[in-house]
Amino acid sequence: MSDQPVHFDPETITVLKETLDDAWGRLRPHQQATMLKSTLAERLLKSAARGERDRKRLLDAALQDVAA
């Protein structure tokens, strides 16, 4: 990823917010206690910065490596 700032349109920001809330809600309480919500947000933003806009794939990216 380049050092250039990435700008998201309002629709993408809405998708990212909703996906973050969905990802957080899928975590069990003990997972929420040991993971920062900002970690999920960072994963979402990295994926979106690469051009991903599909909610399912964004959700998968946010929840990568999270044990069930």
16 within a domain of the structure (yes/no): yes
Measure the CA–CA gap between 67 and 51, rounded to whole angstroms: 26
- 56 part of a folded domain: yes
Answer yes or no: are the C-beta atoms of 58 and 47 closer than 8 Å.
Answer: yes
Asked if residue 62 lies in contact with residue 43, where contact means CB atoms within 8 angstroms, the answer is yes
Number of structural domains found in the chain: 1
Give tens-digit pLDDT for 20-68. 999 999 999 999 999 999 999 999 999 999 999 999 999 999 998 886 5
* Domain of residue 35, residue span: 10-62
Residue 2 belongs to a domain: no
Could you tell me if residue 23 is inside a domain? yes
Is 53 domain-assigned? yes
60: its two tokens:
């998968």
pTM, whole model, 2 decimals?
0.85
* Spacing of C-alpha 42 from chain mean position: 6
Q: How far apart are CA 59 and CA 13, in angstroms?
A: 14
5 in any annotated domain: no
Q: Give a yes or no: residue 31 inside a domain.
A: yes
